[in-house]
């Protein structure tokens, strides 16, 4: 399989408008020069399958020769990623959902005691929600061998307690409006998906 570099993935995400660059007002109220929307690459089924295969290839060296019994991701963003990585490993693709605030395997999803598991995400930011999925899997007695994400927007710093792999590593700085260098340079932020400046 031909190896793709970080720049190749960056180009693909830009081309599919999964990564927008400019000056954005995020739903958090913060400003950022980058906006990431992984659904824009996953909406193409053939591309989603390729991304899953490439992420599985990046994860394989971290598994010590073990084949995972399941790939688990948090809903909603990780569902398609788990499905496609599971396709590449020929195993089950499961997802967790929040129930009363806690990440939980529902819908009759089960993991055997000691089962080897890979946890995946679309995007890792701080690793916080990923760690919750890891804990939910471990609470079932299964073993989390590694974590994978399509995008690591922590710039490589997120620590999830197990080995980790990503296709695209990216810094996505965010700023309070008052401290935004883009605003200071005279530009106005736009809401992602709209062309008009925020009034
Ligand atoms: Zn700004």
- pLDDT of the residue at 196: 58
What is the per-residue pLDDT across 149-190, written as a single tens digit (0 to 9) for each?
999 998 888 999 999 999 999 988 999 999 999 999 999 999
Instruction: Count Cβ atoms below 10 Å from residue 39 Cβ, excluding itself.
Output: 11
153 CA distance to ligand 1 middle (Å): 19
The two beta strands, 164-169 and 143-152, are: parallel
181 CA distance to ligand 1 middle (Å): 6
Confidence of residue 199 (pLDDT cuts 50, 70, 90): low
Cα separation, 64 vs 187, in Å, equals 50
Query: E-strand spans in the chain?
Result: 19-25, 31-36, 70-74, 92-99, 102-105, 116-124, 143-152, 164-169
- pLDDT of the residue at 2: 55
Does 11 have pLDDT greater than 70?
yes
- pLDDT of the residue at 4: 83
Whole-prediction pTM: 0.91
Helix ranges (H only) for the chain are: 6-15, 39-42, 45-59, 79-89, 128-139, 181-184
Q: What is the mean pLDDT of the chain?
A: 93
Percent of the chain clearing pLDDT 90 (strictly above):
87
| Residue 113 and residue 141 in contact, taking contact as beta carbons nearer than 8 Å | yes
Per-chain residues with Cβ under 5 A from ion ligand 1: 31, 180, 182-183, 189
What is the per-residue pLDDT across 33-64, written as a single tens digit (0 to 9) for each?
999 999 999 999 999 999 999 999 999 999 99
- pLDDT of the residue at 1: 45
Does 3 have pLDDT greater than 80?
no
120 CA distance to ligand 1 middle (Å): 32
């Amino acid at each position: 399989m031909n190896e793709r570099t970080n720049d190749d993935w960056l180009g693909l995400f830009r081309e599919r408008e999964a990564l927008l660059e400019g000056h954005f007002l995020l739903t958090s109220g913060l400003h950022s020069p980058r906006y990431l929307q992984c659904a824009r690459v996953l909406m193409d089924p053939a591309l989603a399958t390729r991304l899953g295969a490439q992420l599985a290839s990046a994860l394989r060296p971290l598994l010590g020769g073990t084949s995972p019994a399941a790939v688990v991701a948090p809903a909603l963003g990780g569902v398609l990623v788990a499905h496609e990585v599971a396709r590449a490993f020929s195993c089950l693709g499961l997802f967790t959902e929040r129930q009363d605030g806690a990440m939980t395997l529902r819908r009759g999803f089960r993991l055997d005691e000691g089962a080897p598991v890979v946890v995946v995400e679309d995007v890792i930011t701080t690793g916080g929600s990923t760690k919750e999925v890891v804990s939910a899997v471990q609470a079932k007695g299964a073993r989390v061998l590694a974590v994978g994400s399509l995008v690591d927007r922590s710039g490589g710093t997120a620590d999830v307690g197990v080995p980790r792999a990503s296709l695209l590593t990216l810094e996505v700085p965010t700023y309070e409006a008052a401290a935004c260098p883009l605003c200071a340079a005279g530009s106005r932020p736009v809401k992602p998906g709209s062309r008009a400046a925020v009034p």
